[in-house]
Chains A and B, each alone.
Chain A
């Protein structure tokens, strides 16, 4: 599929090998300007390696990648002028204050003082960190460090932002602040490529690429991806005694698969509306207390498992 000339990031058959392993295996996708694109997959999928190649800090072995129109293999330094990269271990200097960290990165990108002060004020306010300017970065909480890292990455106006698992371990409130900042950037025309191992975070992106063992499984909007799941319905039984519920229904007609998950039993059935009343009867007969029983939306995790197991075909 020919890439649109307007693509902010174009990746074509990208390959990176390390001794004994192919970390990135003929990866192809592109990211349109102004979208939030997610690279999604478990550890070892190749997300960090891909981001490092796009940031120009690691050369590809084969294939091409263009970021903001520049080839990362031929002109990595040129790329660096156009992007911001926030690696997993991002470069906060713990012995420098919030203000000093921001100033350092602003200077590296040649941001003039007035512009720097204005942007810093805005970003810090959006992060709820305005009164922490003089605090040493090492003394900030985890969520605040992450937001400071993002602020440093955004103090200049990049065309493309690359984020490697930016919200790992962060408290949900800080995560929301973080995403609010990202969405406001889109309004300014910035393109964002972020990676995550959380499948639920992937739902916040406009489009995602699911990766596994260095390869691309599929790439589309979350809604369209989930629509690829076969017609099997997913039924959830919420109960105080999941094991008893499982024993009652696992042999029922039309049940294709079953698993326990916390306070639920999740079943794959052939025909939801038809089977639900039958299951309900079974449970009542067995005396199992049922709080809820109904069809649920499949998740990206369901899609992922189905694809790797071959029940859904991979491919962009």
Chain B
């Protein structure tokens, strides 16, 4: 392998990147825009959930409980009603997502130390929302008194019987119950998955489209030299973009960073290798830039978004899908990112993730190199 030739390929690629204002813009702006879009757009916090309350006792204790609902930014007590039918109707009609019924013997039971329960009706058509409402309500009620239980009734949709583990873990590490902080490290991972693959997906297809490939493959340059020469500039850009996203997460979104930068760097390097090799492979098999960019976006974004565990927890997925997520590289990177940001986990606990990313990196580099032939056909 000739370093001289590899550098020549890399130098050309750098010049071309610098001279193309559009791709420069993509390189610099795309991650920033995506961070903003997802950072602000995906907000799992349910503020101002419309709530109807049926207070059957109207005692100082029940008023006290109701006051907690009122003062919480997660709930907006729209109305208090005096009959059950209206409560149900409101939920069915969509005017309320939560209905709380306080029993007529509420204060008496509290005084007696017996088991008191409050009824909660929740609209669980969107079961993520439903589960969150479940979580918040439990948290408010428990905060009022450890002795009060919540009896769950569901209107529409499917609720799980118990609050999910992810809700709990969020609450453990995410003291302010700010879902943003919880999500952003995952967003960094998604953004890098998309940007990384997109950057490299165009490079080979572009040479074919412009017609310069035929001459390139007639020179002594080897497939490996072409691949590495083209990927290295994008790799440097990718690391730069990762740094930018991480910086935005910490400085703009205020996500705490409790872990080690070294772990972040190693994990990101491995992940970038994975997605860039993926992009390169797509660029080889899709002969047009248009097709390549579309395939790159879809094949990185969708799995990363849906199956990496960044938004939708893996534990809640059906078992076969859970198994499937083991072959999604983004899954390991998301776990690593969340751990490094929020938990401050030392890298010794992240062996599985780093090893998995390492394996993926190796396999994809091999795939990419083998796929590029210096032949026309």
Contact = CB atoms under 8 A, between A and B. Distances in A.
Q: Does B bind A?
A: yes
Interface of A: 52, 55-59, 76-77, 80-81, 83, 85-87, 89-96, 100, 103-105, 107-110
Given A108-B5, A110-B2, A93 B217 contact: no
Given A57-B376, A59-B375, A107-B4, A91 B220 contact: no
B214 to A, nearest CB: 5
A96 B16 contact: yes
B15 interface: yes
Contacts of B211: 87, 89-91
Interface string B17-28: 001100000000
A93 B219 contact: no
Given A58-B375, A58-B376, A96-B15, A109 B219 contact: yes
A133 to B, nearest CB: 15
Interface centre among B2, B214, B217 (most CB of A within 10 A): B214
B216 interface: yes
Nearest to A153: B215
Residue of B12, B215, B216 with most chain A CB atoms under a 10 A cut-off: B215
B8 A87 contact: no
Interface residues of B, number: 28
Nearest to A152: B215
A162 to B, nearest CB: 8
A91 B210 CA distance: 8
Given A95-B20, A96-B15, A57 B217 contact: yes
Contacts of B15: 95-96, 100
A87 B212 CA distance: 9
9 contacts: A87-B218, A89-B211, A90-B211, A91-B211, A92-B212, A93-B12, A95-B16, A104-B12, A108-B8
B40 to A, nearest CB: 36
A287 B240 CA distance: 86
B213 interface: yes
B63 interface: no
Nearest to B17: A95
A58 B218 CA distance: 10
A57 B212 contact: no
B219 A57 contact: no
Contacts of A80: 218-220
B20 A52 contact: no
B215 A90 contact: yes
B149 interface: no
Given A57-B375, A100-B12, A110-B2, A91 B221 contact: no
A91 B12 contact: no
B160 interface: no
Contact of A91 (B11, B19, B215, B376): B215
A107 B4 CA distance: 7
B7 interface: yes
A96 B20 CA distance: 11
Nearest to B218: A85
Contacts of A58: 375-377
A312 B130 CA distance: 89
A56 B222 CA distance: 13
Contacts of A90: 211-212, 215
A85 B215 contact: yes
A92 B214 CA distance: 11
B374 interface: yes
Contacts of B5: 107-108, 110
